[in-house]
Structure 1
Amino acid sequence: MLSQWILPASLTLVCWGVWSFIPKITTRYIHPMSAMVYEVVGSIIVGSVVLSLLDFRPDINPKGICLAIFTGILGLTGALGFLFAVKSGKVSVVAMFTSLSPVITLALGWLVLKEPITLREGLGIISAFAAIYFFTS
């Protein structure tokens, strides 16, 4: 039996993989800032579906709400940077470079949440940086 996280993580992998590719084509037709506006429309559609699945009663907790809003700001700011990057760079190189973002997540988990970094994870980080170096040079 598969772990419960495999299916949603696989969906994320596919969605983010396609998400990283489509902006290269999008920015051939419209400016990255215009593309961001339409991406937000897409986000509103998904958010509306999720809100309806919650019977229009999302959890209310001030800390959780502020953190979620900050997460949205970071996500959209990163997406805007990605749009500008793929407009002028190779989508494969930009996607590979930005795929190092989990290294920041891992470091924050270690610093803030005191989650240990195993030897295997440390070697993986080094390998990821080496792969990006070879891929982008």
Structure 2
Amino acid sequence: MPAMPAWFLPALMTFLCWGLWAFLPKLTTRYLDPRSAIVYEALGGLVLVALVWGSGAGRLGGEPRGVALALITGSLGVGGALAYLYALQKGPVALIATVTALYPIFAIVLAALILQEPVSLRQGIGIALGLLAMVLVSR
């Protein structure tokens, strides 16, 4: 049996964490409005950040462009999470999670346009099918 690639376990953990991340807010919004929920979600994230920071894993980098991009990324993540909570108040988690889980399509298009990363014909077809899936699932 071949050895598991080094990236597989972290990718599996991402899969599990993000799967729960997509599901649990539907339960949360039964008890809290989205504005309250996002505050508690962010506090939960801060707990993890404090653990990472306090683990002594090293000094924080300080390159201004990296810091600015990281801050923007964090803001977009929280903004997306807030929008997700509002969507969950109005619709079924199965459909909303499916549509929002197609976000890599947008990232792939940006990577192709801005970073000049190649997109093969097969990948392009996959992107088109993903967009079609978004349309079909949302109707």
TM range (shorter): over 0.9
Secondary structure at 1:28 match in 2: coil
- Deviation sequence 1:69-119 (CA, Å, 0-9, x none): 000000000000000000111101111111111011001110111100011
CA distance in 1, matches of 2:101, 2:74: 18
The list of structure 1 runs, each at least 4 consecutive aligned residues, that deviate by more than 4 angstroms after superposition, is: none
Counterpart secondary structure, 1:4: coil
Q: Which residue of 2 aligns with 1:61?
A: 63
- Number of the residue aligned with 2:123: 121
Which amino acid is the alignment partner of residue 88 of structure 2?
V
> Which among 71, 75, 78 is matched to residue 77 of structure 2?
75
Partners of 2:108 and 2:11 in 1: CA distance = 17
RMSD over aligned Cα atoms: 1.3
CA apart distance, 1:59: 1.4
Aligned pair in 2 of structure 1 residues 85, 70: CA closer, same or farther (>3 Å)?
Answer: same
SS at 2:29 equivalent: helix
State percent identity of aligned pairs: 40
Unaligned runs of 5+ in 1: none
Query: Aligned to 2:61, what secondary structure does the other structure show?
Result: coil
Number of residue equivalences:
137
The equivalences for 1:19-38 within 5 A come to 19-38=21-40
- What is the aligned partner in structure 1 of residue 90 from structure 2? 88
Match of 1:103 among 102, 105, 109: 105
Does 2:53 match 1:51?
A: yes
Which amino acid is the alignment partner of residue 12 of structure 1? Answer: T
Take 1:112 and 1:3, find their aligned partners in 2: how far apart are those partners? Answer: 29
Secondary structure at 1:29's aligned position in 2? coil
Cα offset for 1:10?
1.2
State the TM-score, normalizing by the size of structure 2.
0.92
Quote the offset at 1:55 in angstroms.
Answer: 4.8
User: What is the CA distance between 1:126 and its match in structure 2?
Assistant: 1.6
Which structure has the highest helix share of the two?
1
Deviations 1:45-83 (A, max 9, x none): 010111012456211111111110000000000000000
1:130 to 126, 132, 135: 132
Q: Distance in 2 between matches of 1:112 and 1:119?
A: 19
CA distance in 2, matches of 1:54, 1:130: 46
